[in-house]
Amino acid sequence: MEEGGETVNSMPSVPKDAKKAAYDNLVASGLEPSPENLLQSSKKKGAPLHEYFYGGNAKEWADYGRYEAARKIIQSIPVHWRVGGRTITTRAVEFVKTPEGGRWAFMRDILSDKRLADAYLEEVDRLLGSARDKLARFRSLNCGIEDEAA
Residues in the chain: 150
Shared domain for 60 and 9, answered yes or no, is: yes
84 burial via Cβ count (<10 Å: 0-12, 13-18, 19+): exposed
Shared domain for 10 and 68, answered yes or no, is: yes
Q: How many CA atoms lie within 13 A of 16 on its CB side?
A: 2
Residue 6: the pLDDT is 45
User: Is residue 146 a part of any domain in this protein?
Assistant: no
Give Rg (Cα) of the chain: 20
Residue 120: the pLDDT is 96
Q: Which of the listed residues 31, 49, 72 is the one where a domain comes to its end?
A: 72
User: Is residue 145 a part of any domain in this protein?
Assistant: no
Rounded CA-CA distance 73/97 in Å is 19
The pLDDT tens digits along the chain (150 residues) read: 333 434 556 777 788 888 888 888 888 888 888 888 888 888 888 888 888 888 777 788 888 888 888 889 999 999 999 999 999 999 999 999 988 888 899 999 999 999 999 999 999 999 999 999 998 888 888 655 666 655
Rounded CA-CA distance 25/20 in Å is 9
Shared domain for 21 and 83, answered yes or no, is: no
Q: Which domain does 96 fall in, by range?
A: 77-140
User: Is residue 148 a part of any domain in this protein?
Assistant: no
Residue 1: the pLDDT is 38
φ, ψ of residue 58 in degrees (nearest 5): -55, -45
Shared domain for 66 and 83, answered yes or no, is: no
Query: Do residues 96 and 119 make contact, with C-beta atoms less than 8 angstroms apart?
Result: yes
Q: Which of the listed residues 23, 50, 72 is the one where a domain comes to its end?
A: 72
Rounded CA-CA distance 129/23 in Å is 27
Q: What is the DSSP letter of 148?
A: -
Query: Would you say the pTM of this structure is higher than 0.85?
Result: no
The domain tally of the chain equals 2
Q: Which of the listed residues 15, 38, 72 is the one where a domain comes to its end?
A: 72
Shared domain for 96 and 58, answered yes or no, is: no
